[in-house]
Amino acid sequence: MKLIVASNNKGKIKEYKEILEPMGFEVLSQREAGIELEPDENGSSFAENSAIKARAIFEITDCAVLADDSGLTVDALGGEPGIYSARYEGIDTSEGRSLRILEKLKDVPAEERGAHFVCAIHLILADGREIRASGSCDGSIGYGFKGENGFGYDPIFMYGDRSFAELSSEEKNSVSHRAMALKDLIAKLKGYDI
């Protein structure tokens, strides 16, 4: 089944392809599908933003659309950056946003550096049926950048004694917030005739 992922984030598209293509989905990014639309993500939650993106893309295509909104929540920062993860404090780069979080946590002890990656998925099947799914991964914020893999906040997000950027794709794709949301989605899809 052809499936457009409402994103052009290369790291995110790579993960979706690695997880969904073995299940028989033909995964295309917006760019690969020839769609230049960037919907205004003005929802108040990850779930609302994923629905906004999926519905906007679905209106202009004739196939299934999957959108997610995901991000990092840090306990010591009251849940920041949350839904603003991709544009935290107006900083343009992932490295800059990560540095800002490290700076804010510089005096926070290890036991108070809890963090969570959260993902909300909104799938619209070709016939218009909508399915929501969600997942999360618990960890903590490290004290610097570690690892060369991954993207976004992965180098500062510690999962056990390694950062997400130190995990292989296979390891990350089995434990990440996106993987958990996809597991939830797959379980929900079993009740659908697609």
Catalytically active residues are: 69
Phi, psi of 12 (to 5 degrees): -65, -45
Contact 50, 69 (CB under 8 A): yes
| Cα dihedral 93, 37, 34, 124 sign | positive
Cis before 155? omega within 30? no
Nearest to 46 by CA among 120, 133, 124: 120
Count CB-CB contacts under 10 A for residue 115: 24
Integer-rounded Cα Rg, in Å, for the chain is: 17
Whole-number Å distance between alpha carbons of 58 and 125: 9
